Structure 1
Amino acid sequence: MPIVSKEEFLSRTYDFVIVGGGTSGLVVAARLSEDPTLTVGVLEAGVDHAGDPAVDIPGLMARNTRDPKYDWEFYTEPQVFVNGRRMQESRGKGLGGSSMLNMCAFVRPSKEEIDGIERLGNPGWGWDDVSKYMQKSECYFEPQLTPEQTQELSMEMDTKVHGSKGPISVSFPSQIPPLHKEFLGSCEALGVGRNTQPNGGKIIGSFFCAGSVDPTTGTRSYAASGYLAPNLHRQNLFVLIEAYATKINFEKDSSGLQLATSVEFIKDEERLIVGVTKEVILSAGTFQTPQILENSAIGNARILEPLGIQPIVDLPGVGENLQDHTHVPAVVEIDPSSETLEMLDDLNQSQINAHRELYKQQKGILAGIPYSAFIFLPASTLAREEDVKRWVTFAAVEASPAEVFKDTPSSVVNGIHKQYELIREWLTSPLHPFSLLLHINGHFPVLLHTPDSSKRYCTFLCGQTHPFSRGSVHIKSLDPKIPPAIQPNYLSNRADLDILMKSVRFTQQMFRTAPVKDQIIETVVPLFDLSDGDLEERVRELLTTIHHPVGTASMLPRELGGVVDPDLKVYETTNVRVADCSIIPLQVSSNTVTMAYAIGEKAADIIRSVL
Structure 2
Amino acid sequence: MTRMAPSSLIHLILAASIFAQTFARLCNSPGQLRGNTYDYIVVGAGTAGNVIAARLAENGANDVLVLEAGVSNEGVLASQVPFMGPTLTPNTPYDWNYTVTPQTHLDGRTFPFPRGRILGGSSSVNYMVHQYGSSADYDRLARITGDSGWAWRNLRRYIDRHEKFVPPADGHNTNGQYIPSLHSTRGVLPKSLPGFSYGIDARVIATTQELSAEFPFNPDTGGGDVLGLGWVQSSIGGGTRSSSATTYLNGVINRRNVDVLVNAYVTKLVRTGTVGGKPSFRGVQFANGPQSPTTNVFARKEVILSAGAFGTPQILQLSGIGDRAELTSKSITTIVNNPSVGKNMSDHLLLPNNWLVQGTESLDNLLRDPVAFGAALDQWQASKTGVLANGVTNHLGFFRLPNNSPIFATTPDPASGPTASHWEMIVSNFWINPAVPQPATGSYLTLISALISPTSRGTLKLASNNPFQAPLIDPNFLATDFDRYAMRESVRAVKRFAGANAWSGYVIEPVGDLAAETDGDIDAYVRSISTTVFHPVGTASISPRNAAWGVVDPELRLKVGAGTAGNVIAARLAESGHNDILVLEAGVSHEGVLASEVPFLGPTLTPSMPNLPSICYDAYASGSDTPYDWNYTVVPQTHLNGRTFPFGRGRILGGSSSVNYLAHQYGSSEDYDRLARITGDSGWAWKNMKRYIDRHEKFVPPADGHDTTGQYIPSLHSTRGILPKSLPGFSHAIDSRVIATTQELSAEFPFNPDMGGGNVLGLGWTQSSIGGGTRSSSATTYLNSVINRRNVDVLVNAQVTKLVHTGKIGGKPSFRGVQFASGPQGKNMSDHVLLSNNWRVRGTESLDNLLRDPVVFGAALDQWQASKTGPLANGLPNHLGFFRLPDNSPIFTTTPDPASGPKASHWEILVSNFWVNPSLPQPDTGNYLTLSVALISPTSRGTLKLASNDPFQAPLIDPNFLATDFDRYTMRESVRAIKRFAGANAWSDYIVGPVGDLAAETDEGIDAYVRSFSTTVSHPVGTASMSPRNAAWGVVDPELRLKGAEGVRIVDASVWPFVPNAHTQGPVYLVAERAASIIRGY
State TM-score, norm by structure 2. 0.52
Partners of 1:586 and 1:304 in 2: CA distance: 24
> 1:378–1:427: 8 Å Cα contact kept in structure 2?
no
2:285 is paired with a residue of what secondary structure? strand
Q: Deviations over 1:321-344 (max 9, x none)?
A: 111110222111223231x33132
> 2:1027–2:1036: 8 Å Cα contact kept in structure 1?
yes
2:967 is paired with a residue of what secondary structure? helix
Query: How big is the shift at 1:483?
Result: 0.6
Partner of 2:1065: 593
Query: How big is the shift at 1:265?
Result: 0.8
Query: How big is the shift at 1:531?
Result: 3.3
Instruction: For 1:187-336, list aligned pairs within 5 A.
Output: 187-190=208-211, 191=213, 192-215=215-238, 218-253=239-274, 255-268=276-289, 269-336=292-359
- In the alignment, does 2:105 pair up with 1:105? no
1:302 is paired with a residue of what secondary structure? helix
Partner of 1:603: 1075
Partners of 2:106 and 2:210 in 1: CA distance: 34
1:531 to 958, 980, 1002: 1002
Matched to 2:406, the amino acid is E
Partners of 2:56 and 2:172 in 1: CA distance: 38
Query: How big is the shift at 1:559?
Result: 2.1
> 1:462–1:504: 8 Å Cα contact kept in structure 2?
yes
Partners of 2:347 and 2:963 in 1: CA distance: 12
> 1:380–1:428: 8 Å Cα contact kept in structure 2?
no
Instruction: For 1:342-491, list aligned pairs within 5 A.
Output: 342-350=364-372, 352-354=374-376, 356-357=378-379, 360-380=382-402, 384-392=404-412, 424=896, 431-448=903-920, 450-452=922-924, 454-491=925-962
1:357 is paired with a residue of what secondary structure? helix
2:949 is paired with a residue of what secondary structure? coil
> 1:469–1:489: 8 Å Cα contact kept in structure 2?
yes
Query: How big is the shift at 1:541?
Result: 1.2
> 1:81–1:491: 8 Å Cα contact kept in structure 2?
yes
Partners of 2:381 and 2:282 in 1: CA distance: 49
Query: How big is the shift at 1:356?
Result: 3.0
Partners of 2:110 and 2:222 in 1: CA distance: 35
Partners of 1:400 and 1:508 in 2: CA distance: 22
1:493 to 958, 964, 971: 964
Partners of 1:319 and 1:496 in 2: CA distance: 21
Q: Aligned in 2, Cα 1:458/1:359: closer, same or farther, shift over 3 Å?
A: farther
1:349 is paired with a residue of what secondary structure? helix
Query: How big is the shift at 1:396?
Result: 9.0
> 2:947–2:955: 8 Å Cα contact kept in structure 1?
yes
- In the alignment, does 2:602 pair up with 1:581? no
Query: How big is the shift at 1:3?
Result: 1.0
Could you list the runs of 5+ residues in structure 2 that have no partner in the other structure?
1-23, 415-453, 458-478, 482-546, 551-673, 679-827, 831-891
Partners of 2:900 and 2:1041 in 1: CA distance: 35
Partners of 1:360 and 1:498 in 2: CA distance: 49
Partners of 2:217 and 2:982 in 1: CA distance: 17
> 2:401–2:973: 8 Å Cα contact kept in structure 1?
no
> 1:301–1:316: 8 Å Cα contact kept in structure 2?
yes
Partners of 1:126 and 1:468 in 2: CA distance: 22
Q: Aligned in 2, Cα 1:306/1:178: closer, same or farther, shift over 3 Å?
A: same
Query: How big is the shift at 1:352?
Result: 4.0
Query: How big is the shift at 1:250?
Result: 1.3
> 2:131–2:1062: 8 Å Cα contact kept in structure 1?
yes
Query: How big is the shift at 1:455?
Result: 2.9
Instruction: Give the alignment's Cα RMSD to 1 decimal.
Output: 2.9
Q: Deviations over 1:432-474 (max 9, x none)?
A: 321211112221245355411x432221212111111101112
Q: Deviations over 1:67-111 (max 9, x none)?
A: 321111212222222212223211001111110111000112111
- In the alignment, does 2:143 pair up with 1:119? yes
> 2:282–2:1048: 8 Å Cα contact kept in structure 1?
no
Partners of 1:554 and 1:479 in 2: CA distance: 24
Partners of 2:53 and 2:380 in 1: CA distance: 36
> 1:569–1:577: 8 Å Cα contact kept in structure 2?
yes
- In the alignment, does 2:157 pair up with 1:132? yes
Q: Aligned in 2, Cα 1:517/1:388: closer, same or farther, shift over 3 Å?
A: farther
Query: How big is the shift at 1:568?
Result: 1.5
1:239 is paired with a residue of what secondary structure? strand
Partner of 1:86: 110
Matched to 1:546, the amino acid is V
Matched to 1:388, the amino acid is F
1:336 is paired with a residue of what secondary structure? coil
Q: Aligned in 2, Cα 1:389/1:308: closer, same or farther, shift over 3 Å?
A: same
1:392 is paired with a residue of what secondary structure? coil
Partners of 2:369 and 2:129 in 1: CA distance: 28
Partner of 2:43: 19
Q: Aligned in 2, Cα 1:373/1:517: closer, same or farther, shift over 3 Å?
A: same
Q: Aligned in 2, Cα 1:11/1:174: closer, same or farther, shift over 3 Å?
A: closer
Partners of 1:14 and 1:323 in 2: CA distance: 34
> 1:320–1:412: 8 Å Cα contact kept in structure 2?
no
Partners of 2:456 and 2:371 in 1: CA distance: 54
> 1:133–1:601: 8 Å Cα contact kept in structure 2?
yes
Partners of 1:494 and 1:555 in 2: CA distance: 26
Partners of 2:900 and 2:195 in 1: CA distance: 38
Matched to 2:334, the amino acid is P
> 1:378–1:429: 8 Å Cα contact kept in structure 2?
no
Which moved further from structure 2: 21-30 or 297-306?
297-306
2:369 is paired with a residue of what secondary structure? coil
Query: How big is the shift at 1:425?
Result: 5.1
- In the alignment, does 2:70 pair up with 1:46? yes
Could you list the runs of 5+ residues in structure 1 that have no partner in the other structure?
402-409
- Show structure 1 runs of 4+ deviating over 4 A: 142-146, 393-401, 410-413, 415-421, 425-430
Partner of 2:753: none
Partners of 1:531 and 1:397 in 2: CA distance: 23
> 2:208–2:986: 8 Å Cα contact kept in structure 1?
no
Count of residues in correspondence between the two structures: 588
Partners of 2:229 and 2:1056 in 1: CA distance: 26
Q: Deviations over 1:136-174 (max 9, x none)?
A: 21101266666xx733xxx112x2222222111110123
> 2:1025–2:1057: 8 Å Cα contact kept in structure 1?
yes
- In the alignment, does 2:585 pair up with 1:564? no
Q: Aligned in 2, Cα 1:38/1:262: closer, same or farther, shift over 3 Å?
A: same
Query: How big is the shift at 1:514?
Result: 0.9
Partners of 1:42 and 1:429 in 2: CA distance: 37
1:321 is paired with a residue of what secondary structure? coil
Identity %: 30
Query: How big is the shift at 1:508?
Result: 2.0
Matched to 2:1010, the amino acid is V
Partners of 2:272 and 2:223 in 1: CA distance: 45
Partners of 2:935 and 2:455 in 1: CA distance: 17
- In the alignment, does 2:529 pair up with 1:504? no
2:271 is paired with a residue of what secondary structure? strand
Q: Aligned in 2, Cα 1:35/1:464: closer, same or farther, shift over 3 Å?
A: same
Q: Aligned in 2, Cα 1:435/1:548: closer, same or farther, shift over 3 Å?
A: same
Partners of 2:1019 and 2:240 in 1: CA distance: 23
1:477 is paired with a residue of what secondary structure? strand
Which moved further from structure 2: 572-581 or 556-565?
556-565
Partners of 1:446 and 1:129 in 2: CA distance: 36
